[in-house]
């Protein structure tokens, strides 16, 4: 193929990039300015041909305006995506925030037919609301098999803990997305579920044989490909059996030989964010983009420096290191993906009554209540919130986790992030109870195994804290929101009859259903949550 003029080449290369932007309209509202470009830079890059934007933050209504603003800065149809694995409300307030996918993976073991039906509705709800907000690409489903409970990065984001449930539920979710008319993305290829470290912070190694990969990691991706998934996202991890030198994102053996040739995937291959430490700590922005494209990626997500990535790719094509035929193939895949879905923004309300019913129904099927109702009529409501609770609205002043116990005489004490002032430093009695005050303690833990935490939450001494409170007869009750593994580990030390509950979800609907079960007198006359059998 003949070479392209430099200006034309640069515009076409720029189409391959997907840049991070705040969902807020103004620069001053950016939550992560180190990753989210200011509007002046976004406008310039979109006018120069950049083809996609990944968004985070703001309300769902603001997102509608934001996607229209960004599209107005470009003369081509843009890809608009977000990590809305748990519904649009996970990232954008005012939309539906659904229970983590692993809740349905657990339900699948008892009632697979119900779990599959709910997963398809889950995908349809997510896709419909995404379209109403201007998004056309949902970065889900997670196809990783969370067969390692200690996994610090996947955890409750997976659809299953075994390949059968993960495959079936991911495909059902994809069917829902297709009904809604948005693109889907199977991630993180070839499987991030059995890693002990977080690729946001380090470069994990998955030391498994090809035979083991075929048994555990690859089946959900094969199922998603067979179901016609539009895109596959790469994982920043090393599989020595396939490529001992490069992580999957930068490995031709993984992306071209395995994914393209052996597994027959012909859709878009998108990198995971190249700003993650697993990549950025080892390669500059230009070289990372070139290596990823050389390996078989089509789209470059969140390069550390957009201009450097474009320059590096242009140099690669001009020098012959990268064949121009590959550029045309990637651009055609992008065009085909966009042509397969409707344009425009759906005009219906962002959240429908059917969406509200689904959110409540999913919560209903993913909570567990044991023991008695809370008997104390005064005490301390001690709430631990992990550093990256997906939505600040989950624990506002109106949240049931605060409001319901307070209505029953409990005084709220909230520990955000690493605010551990109530710790005593004594392993056997970790809570400094003199700092908390008198009375029984209702313990509510919002802990789900978040990325970026490097497992720090798992090392907090909640087992000893429960034993301490129990010994002193000061344990009013325990509620776990998020990690089923924490719930399972703590059940062994809960006193018989102790009021206790688990909810996979952390949203206000989950708080309401759990706490009206533990505090029946707090439930409004005539009913509890939005869902009833």
The three-state DSSP-derived secondary structure of 126-137 is HHHHHHHHCCCE
Of the residues 200, 208, 236, 512, only one is catalytic, namely 200
- pLDDT per residue, tens digit, the chain (533 aa), is 446 777 799 999 999 999 999 999 999 999 888 889 999 999 999 999 999 999 999 999 999 999 999 999 999 999 999 999 999 999 999 999 999 999 999 999 999 999 999 999 999 999 999 999 999 999 999 999 999 888 778 889 999 999 999 999 999 999 999 999 999 999 999 998 876 655 555 678 888 899 999 999 999 999 999 999 999 999 999 999 999 999 999 999 999 999 999 999 999 999 999 988 778 888 899 999 999 999 999 999 999 999 999 999 999 999 999 999 999 999 999 999 999 999 877 678 999 999 999 999 999 999 999 998 999 889 999 999 875 554 445 677 789 999 999 999 999 998 865 555 678 889 999 999 988 889 999 999 998 865 434 444 457 899 999 999 999 999 999 999 999 999 999 998 999 999 999 999 999 999 999 999 999 988 764 334 443 33
272 is catalytic: yes
Q: Is residue 355 part of a domain?
A: no
First to last CA, the chain: 64
Q: Is residue 396 part of a domain?
A: yes
pLDDT of residue 465: 95
pLDDT of residue 278: 76
Assess whether 167 and 203 both reside in one domain: yes
Assess whether 330 and 375 both reside in one domain: no
Assess whether 325 and 370 both reside in one domain: no
How many domains does the chain divide into? 2
Residue 383: CB atoms within 10 Å:
22
CA pair distance 87, 391, nearest whole angstrom: 12
pLDDT of residue 282: 87
Spatial strand order in the sheet of 137-138: 137-138, 79-82, 52-56, 17-22, 300-301
Q: For residue 368, give both structure tokens.
A: 């567990």
Q: Is residue 272 part of a domain?
A: yes
Assess whether 103 and 166 both reside in one domain: yes
Q: Dihedrals φ, ψ of 500, to 5°?
A: -155, 150
Q: Is residue 370 part of a domain?
A: yes
Sign of CA dihedral 397, 399, 405, 407: positive
pLDDT of residue 205: 84
pLDDT of residue 455: 46
Q: For residue 120, give both structure tokens.
A: 């398809």
CA pair distance 271, 236, nearest whole angstrom: 9
Q: What is the CATH number of the domain that holds 466?
A: 3.40.50.10870
CA pair distance 483, 117, nearest whole angstrom: 23
What range does the domain containing 167 cover? 16-339
Q: Is residue 348 part of a domain?
A: no
Q: Dihedrals φ, ψ of 270, to 5°?
A: -120, 140
CB 188 within 8 A of CB 226: no
Residue 520: CB atoms within 10 Å:
11
Domain end residue (candidates: 285, 304, 339): 339
CB 452 within 8 A of CB 275: no
Omega within 30 of 0 (cis) for the link into 294? no
CB 463 within 8 A of CB 428: no
Of the residues 128, 230, 243, 272, only one is catalytic, namely 272
Assess whether 335 and 291 both reside in one domain: yes
Assess whether 335 and 380 both reside in one domain: no
pLDDT of residue 198: 54
Assess whether 335 and 390 both reside in one domain: no
512 is catalytic: no
CA pair distance 164, 271, nearest whole angstrom: 26
CA pair distance 332, 330, nearest whole angstrom: 5
Q: Is residue 345 part of a domain?
A: no
CA pair distance 161, 106, nearest whole angstrom: 8
Assess whether 319 and 392 both reside in one domain: no
């Amino acid at each position: 193929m003949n070479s392209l003029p430099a200006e034309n080449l640069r515009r076409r290369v720029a189409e391959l990039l997907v840049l991070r932007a705040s969902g807020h309209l103004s620069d001053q509202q950016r939550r992560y300015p180190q990753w989210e470009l200011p509007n002046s830079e976004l406008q310039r890059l979109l006018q120069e041909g950049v083809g996609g934007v990944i968004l985070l933050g703001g309300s769902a209504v603001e997102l509608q305006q934001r996607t229209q603003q960004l599209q107005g800065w470009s003369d081509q149809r843009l890809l608009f995506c977000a990590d809305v694995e748990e519904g649009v409300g996970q990232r954008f307030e005012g939309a539906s925030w659904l229970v983590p996918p692993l809740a349905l993976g657990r339900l699948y073991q008892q009632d697979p037919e119900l779990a599959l039906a709910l997963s398809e509705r889950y995908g349809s709800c997510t896709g419909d609301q995404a379209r109403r907000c201007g998004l056309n690409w949902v970065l889900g489903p997670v196809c990783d098999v969370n067969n390692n409970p200690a996994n610090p990065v996947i955890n409750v984001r997976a659809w299953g803990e075994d390949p059968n449930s993960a495959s079936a539920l991911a495909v059902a979710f994809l069917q829902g997305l297709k009904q809604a008319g948005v693109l889907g993305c199977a991630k993180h290829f070839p499987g991030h579920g059995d890693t002990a470290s977080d690729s946001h912070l380090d470069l994990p190694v998955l030391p498994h044989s090809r035979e083991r990969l075929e048994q555990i990691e690859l089946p959900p991706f094969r199922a998603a490909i067979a179901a016609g998934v539009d895109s596959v996202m790469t994982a920043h991890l090393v599989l020595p059996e396939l490529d001992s030198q490069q992580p999957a994102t930068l490995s031709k053996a993984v992306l071209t030989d395995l994914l393209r040739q052996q597994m027959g995937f012909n859709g878009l291959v998108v990198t995971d964010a190249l700003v993650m430490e697993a990549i950025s700590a080892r390669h500059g922005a230009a070289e990372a983009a070139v290596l990823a494209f050389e390996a078989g990626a089509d789209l470059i997500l969140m390069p550390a420096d957009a201009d450097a990535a474009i320059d590096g790719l242009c140099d690669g094509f001009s020098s012959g290191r990268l064949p121009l035929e590959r550029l045309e193939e990637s651009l055609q895949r992008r065009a085909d993906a966009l042509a397969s879905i409707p344009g425009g923004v759906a005009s219906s309300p962002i959240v429908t009554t059917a969406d509200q019913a689904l959110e409540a129904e999913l919560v209903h099927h993913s909570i567990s209540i044991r023991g008695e109702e809370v008997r104390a009529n005064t005490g301390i409501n001690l709430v631990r919130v992990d550093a990256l609770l997906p939505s600040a609205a989950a624990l506002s002043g109106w949240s049931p986790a605060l409001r319901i116990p307070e209505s029953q005489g409990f005084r709220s004490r909230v520990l955000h992030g690493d605010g551990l002032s109530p710790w005593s430093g004594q392993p056997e009695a970790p809570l400094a109870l003199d700092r908390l005050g008198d009375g029984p303690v209702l313990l509510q833990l919002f802990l789900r195994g978040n990325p970026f935490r490097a497992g720090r939450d798992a090392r907090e001494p909640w087992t000893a804290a429960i034993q301490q409170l129990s010994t002193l007869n000061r344990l009013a009750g325990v509620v776990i929101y998020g990690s089923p593994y924490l719930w399972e580990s703590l059940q062994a030390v809960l006193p018989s009859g102790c009021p206790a509950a688990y909810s996979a979800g952390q949203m206000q609907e989950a708080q309401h259903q759990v706490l009206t079960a533990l505090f029946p007198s707090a439930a409004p006359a005539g009913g509890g949550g939005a869902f009833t059998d």
